Chain A
Amino acid sequence: GDSVTQMEGPVTLSEEAFLTINCTYTATGYPSLFWYVQYPGEGLQLLLKATKADDKGSNKGFEATYRKETTSFHLEKGSVQVSDSAVYFCALSDQTGANNLFFGTGTRLTVIP
């Protein structure tokens, strides 16, 4: 079945460092791909998405490109801030038409000043 494999955490970076969180997926078709962020004590929020190959999703300085050839959707940010500290989830949509999401295990990012 469809699944998402996400880079294990936790990740600790200094402010203004470059961030990469790896995500690869397994799917029989062409799912849509998402990154969600969960701040402490809150629910998940959609960070960005891409619906087809070579699409680049971007938001708040974060970017991810849908790479069909490597089945990847790595999250990047050029300069992280303390406020980016959160748990990041890679997800894909199911392809049955129900729009359900399958999530990776999550990567906890801590940014230190």
Chain B
Amino acid sequence: DSGVTQTPKHLITATGQRVTLRCSPRSGDLSVYWYQQSLDQGLQFLIQYYNGEERAKGNILERFSAQQFPDLHSELNLSSLELGDSALYFCASSVGVAVYNEQFFGPGTRLTVL
């Protein structure tokens, strides 16, 4: 158990809908990362937050957004869903943003868009 929790575990929805994925980082971790794992794109970095502020963006679509709240949990919002958004979404957390700060991954949320 990494200490990172993600809810829900599974999500099935239809095209055009909007969903919210939730992540609670390990106690004491200030940085949260979101990654998408899909069959065609592999594992890709989406976005990072540090202590409530957006710090870095990767290959995140404009239809996707995220935020980190004062209690440090984070939510990833996916809207106008398409079939290709079906993937496993991982959250990771670390104490800080230095390279030696190990990232701990949650178990993931599996999103299926029908």
Contact = CB atoms under 8 A, between A and B. Distances in A.
Q: In which size bucket is the chain B interface?
A: 20 to 34
B99 A93 contact: yes
B42 A106 contact: yes
Interface string B42-54: 1111001000000
A46 to B, nearest CB: 5
B15 interface: no
A44 to B, nearest CB: 4
Contact of A45 (B31, B48, B97, B105): B105
Given A98-B97, A99-B31, A99-B98, A45 B2 contact: yes
Contact of A43 (B42, B55, B99, B108): B108
Main secondary structure of the interface of A (DSSP, over half): loop
A73 interface: no
A42 interface: yes
A56 to B, nearest CB: 16
A105 B35 CA distance: 14
Interface of A: 32, 36, 41-46, 49, 51, 89, 93-94, 96-106
Interface of B: 2, 4, 31, 33, 35, 42-45, 48, 55-56, 58, 90, 92, 94, 96-103, 105-108
